[in-house]
């Protein structure tokens, strides 16, 4: 009896795994096609300088609107992990982001504009020359571009990554560690890579005003970055009172739904032209 049911349970799990492998494979095929057919688009989330309220560019975020509904970027990233599609997707994102940045610049908008890449991409020796080509094609300089590296804990060869990042930095490109403070990106990695900015994970920002542990962590990240001439971006700023608290703590930049949501590039252009730094500073002062 017990053996029987044990057996059937194993079968059940196997069947499930088989099914999920099949759907992952289907998703990988769909992603590959989506890259080829330009089915992805980028949305842009503004980044605000908390000191003076000025707009400091935006982060490009992947969007995939399929006929049966949107697929979140995290699903795409989870599916492609460990496959050659990491490089294919990041290549598409770099090219498309720079084409959009070119448009933004034509509308008089200043950067830097950031995009996200998988850790394997900064270990790829083709990265510097590819970026140089995309920058040249879009007639923009590297100073307009910032690269956010995800999940740095899975970088395999730090010496190689360092060398590649240094060549990119000679083009003026800057680098930031995404989701800083989580297991994916902690102090160890900060000291192993030539980093210009830290992006504090939204987990700690959302709970900044309610959790003493988050406050302590944010303070220590700010102290470390200060000592290392590094800038800090707070992610997940959902209210003006959080923005105000971050400003008082000395955090350089804020990004979050409370300031602005990610938006399509045309909407970003319109939004950026309407942004009023003084109104923002007044509202922040009123809330905190
Ligand atoms: P991330 O790079 O840390 O991006 C921030 C995520 O937080 C975005 O989710 C953004 O929409 C969301 N967000 C921004 N402000 C707030 C807020 O105030 N509250 C809350 N709850 N969320 C906020 P999204 O667009 O779903 O992206 C999720 C993750 O997927 C990104 O996290 C990044 O790790 C990855 N990703 C997104 N686009 C790309 C891409 O083009 N390439 C790669 N390789 N990864 C990407
Ligand atoms: Mg990011
Ligand atoms: Mg993040
Ligand atoms: Mg994240």
Digit-coded pLDDT (tens) for 90-139: 999 999 999 999 999 999 999 999 999 999 999 999 999 999 999 999 99
**Span from the CA of 8 to the centroid of ligand 1 (angstroms):** 40
Of ligand 1's listed atoms, the one at least distance from the Cα of 235 is 15
Q: Are 175 and 165 in contact (CB under 8 A)?
A: yes
Tell me how many degrees the CA angle 137-29-86 measures, rounded to the nearest 5: 50
Whether 288 has a pLDDT exceeding 80, the answer reads: no
Q: Are 30 and 37 in contact (CB under 8 A)?
A: no
Q: Are 115 and 148 in contact (CB under 8 A)?
A: yes
Evaluate: CB of 61 within 6 angstroms of ligand 1. yes
206-to-200, 202, 228, 256 alpha-carbon distances in Å: 11, 6, 25, 10
**Span from the CA of 169 to the centroid of ligand 1 (angstroms):** 24
150-to-28, 201, 217 alpha-carbon distances in Å: 20, 11, 20
Q: Are strands 113-117 and 69-70 parallel, antiparallel or unpaired?
A: unpaired
Q: Residues with Cβ within 5 Å of ion ligand 4? A: 179
121-to-78, 82, 151, 165, 166 alpha-carbon distances in Å: 15, 11, 11, 10, 14
Rounded mean pLDDT of 42-55? 98
Evaluate: CB of 284 within 6 angstroms of ligand 1. no
Could you identify the residue written with the tokens 């403070």? 181
Whether 87 has a pLDDT exceeding 50, the answer reads: yes
| Angstrom distance (rounded) from CA 193 to CA 124 | 15
Q: Residues with Cβ within 5 Å of ion ligand 2? A: 116, 148, 178
222 Cβ contact partners less than 8 Å away, ≥ 6 residues apart: 232, 249, 250, 251
Evaluate: CB of 257 within 6 angstroms of ligand 1. yes
Structure tokens at 202: 């939204």
Q: Which ligand is nearest to the CA of 45?
A: 1
pLDDT 10s digits, 143-162 = 999 999 998 888 989 999 99
Rounded mean pLDDT of 55-66? 97
Evaluate: CB of 58 within 6 angstroms of ligand 1. no
Question: Beta-carbon neighbour count of residue 16 at 10 Å?
Answer: 10
**Average pLDDT for the chain:** 92
Q: Which ligand is nearest to the CA of 76?
A: 1
**Span from the CA of 74 to the centroid of ligand 4 (angstroms):** 8
Backbone angles phi, psi at 84, to 5 degrees: -70, -10
Bridge partners, 174 (sequence order): 146
């Amino acid at each position: 009896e017990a053996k029987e049911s044990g057996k059937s349970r194993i079968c059940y799990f196997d069947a499930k795994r088989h099914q999920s492998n099949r759907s992952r494979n289907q998703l990988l095929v769909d992603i590959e096609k989506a890259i080829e057919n330009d089915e992805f688009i980028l949305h842009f989330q503004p980044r605000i300088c908390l000191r003076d309220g000025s707009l400091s560019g935006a982060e490009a975020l992947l969007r995939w609107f399929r006929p049966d509904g949107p697929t979140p970027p995290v699903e795409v990233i989870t599916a492609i992990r460990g496959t050659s599609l990491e490089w294919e997707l990041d290549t598409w994102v770099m090219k498309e982001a720079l084409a959009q940045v070119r448009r933004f610049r034509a509308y008089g908008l200043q950067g830097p504009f950031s995009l996200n890449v998988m850790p394997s991409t900064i270990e790829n020796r083709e990265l510097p020359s590819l970026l140089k080509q995309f920058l040249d094609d879009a007639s923009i300089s590297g100073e307009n571009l910032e690269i956010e590296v995800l999940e740095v804990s899975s970088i395999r060869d730090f010496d190689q990554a360092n060398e590649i990042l240094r060549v990119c930095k000679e083009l003026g490109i800057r680098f930031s560690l995404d989701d800083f403070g989580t297991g994916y990106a902690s102090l160890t990695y900060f000291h192993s890579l030539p980093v210009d900015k830290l992006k504090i994970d939204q987990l700690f920002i959302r709970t900044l005003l309610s959790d003493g542990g988050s406050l302590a962590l944010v303070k220590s990240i700010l102290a470390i970055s200060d000592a290392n001439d590094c800038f800090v971006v707070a992610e997940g700023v959902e209210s003006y009172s959080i923005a105000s608290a971050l400003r008082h703590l000395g955090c350089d930049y804020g990004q979050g739904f409370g300031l602005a949501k990610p938006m399509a590039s045309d909407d970003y252009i319109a939004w950026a032209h309407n942004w009023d730094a003084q109104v923002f500073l007044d509202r922040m002062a009123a809330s905190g």
